[in-house]
Amino acid sequence: MTPKFTVYVLDPYHPDAIKLLQSDPNIKTILPTDPAQTCWHAHADGIILRSETVLSAKDFSQAKKLKVVVKQGVGVDNIDLDAARKHGVAVHNTPALNSESVAELCMALTLALSRRICEIDRAIRKGQRVVRSQVLGVSMFRKTVGVIGMGNIGKVVAQKWLGAFECRILGFDPVAPKDAWNDVKHDRVWCLDELLKQSDLVTLHVPLLESTRGMIGEEQFKDMKMTAILVNCARGGVVDEAALLHALKEGQIWGAVLDAMETEPPTLESYGDLLALENVIMTPHVGASTVENQCRSGTVVIDTLLKVLNEETAPGKVC
């Protein structure tokens, strides 16, 4: 049987997802390692990708046959959606699938910072003597957690802090419906500064939009407690990184953990000043990077792609 569609895999995917794609006789699969990758503009009916690849307006204008792009994960800021609409290309993502793994990382990073685990580990590896009275951590038990962004990931994060540490949850989201999280014990606040002033932990779960770019900046750090921790496992650009560096150096907040930065992956060249601080932990956007999640979300991407190519209703439609 001659394949009906040619699909280009532009970024690495879990082997189970690739196996599922290759098992369909109607699909010709071009993998990232195939030299034919450079010709996708001329031949691709469908594309699957992750955050590594950027699709620009020029890419869409050159794509001769492209019908659908499916992005693993929620964020689609690496895809020019206006250009996709202009050229009649459907764009889908995989909402809600990353919630558990991202929430796990948020909690893991927060606890690693609050209990100074990385700092102590580095000292031991250097052969330094660690005096316990001089490396006191901060307990999260019954603290106030401010969740900015009341979507799927934010909800799972809230549930974890509630269940594990009996925390008080504050939720802020100017666009979420009034009945959002009606099954989660929380207090809804309608002003960001109100959340910032009360929270011991501020955790971000918003997309990168013009309305959210730099939403945590100089003025917001002034509102936060000196004992507060900032967590960004959402998107780079939501936090003003120059203002964050200043806030940390001046002791305006207790510390920060970042899994999302404006420059990814983080390097010493780009983030040497932040990485020199003991009260900062950075990871290279690995919130969704568990074996289980990559397998599950990868197979959902393939299922979505095949449905769209076969003109069936598919989940996660962005445009």
Are the C-beta atoms of residues 68 and 309 closer than 8 Å to each other?
yes
75 vs 244, more confident:
244
Residue 231 has pLDDT above 90, yes or no: yes
Q: What is the mean pLDDT of residues 198-209?
A: 95
Greater confidence, 55 or 37? 55
Catalytic residue of the set 50, 116, 205, 285: 285
**What's the Cα-to-Cα distance from 222 to each of 170, 233, 256, 319, rounded to whole Å?**
19, 21, 15, 38
Query: Quick check: 1 pLDDT over 70?
Result: no
Supply the pTM of this predicted model. 0.83
Q: How far apart are CA 290 and CA 207, in angstroms?
A: 21
Please list, residue by residue across 124-162, b when 16 or more beta carbons sit within 10 angstroms of its beta carbon and e when fewer do: eeeeeeeeeeeeeebebeebbbbbbbbbbbbbbbbbbbb
The pLDDT, as a whole number, for residue 2 is 76
Q: Are 5-97+292-309 and 99-282 equal in CATH topology?
A: yes
Q: Which of 235, 241, 278, 292 is catalytic?
A: 235
Amino acid at 83: A
Question: What pLDDT sits at residue 74?
Answer: 82
pLDDT (average), residues 170-178: 95
- The SS3 call for residue 198 is helix
Residue 96: what pLDDT? 78
Calculate mean pLDDT across residues 117-146: 96
The reported pLDDT for the residue numbered 274 is: 97
Q: What angle do CA 293, 52, 212 make, to 5 degrees?
A: 85
Write down the domain spans for the chain.
5-97+292-309, 99-282
The pLDDT value given to residue 256 = 98
Q: Is residue 264 annotated as part of the catalytic site, yes or no?
A: yes
Average pLDDT over residues 134-163: 97
92 is catalytic: no
Give the torsion through C-alpha atoms of 141, 149, 50, 45, to 10 deg.
150
CB contact at 8 A, 260 and 238: yes
Q: How confident is residue 136, by pLDDT bands cut at 50, 70 and 90?
A: very high
Active site (annotated) includes residue 262: no
Smallest Cα–Cα separation from 209: which of 102, 77, 78?
77
Q: First vs last Cα of the chain: how many Å apart?
A: 32
CB atoms within 10 A of CB 25: 10
As a whole-number percent, the residues of the chain with pLDDT over 90 amount to: 89
CATH 1.10.3720.10 applies to domain 99-282:
no
Digit-coded pLDDT (tens) for 263-273: 999 999 999 99
Looking at the predicted structure, is the pLDDT value of residue 54 above 80?
Answer: yes
Q: Of these residues, 104, 218, 262, 264, which one is catalytic?
A: 264
Residues 178-189 have pLDDT tens digits of 999 999 999 999
- pLDDT score, position 167: 98
Q: Is the pLDDT score of 164 beyond 90?
A: yes
Residue 175 scores a pLDDT above 90: yes
Multiple choice CATH, 5-97+292-309, 3.40.1080.10, 3.40.50.720, 3.40.190.10, 1.10.1330.10: 3.40.50.720
Mean pLDDT across the chain: 95
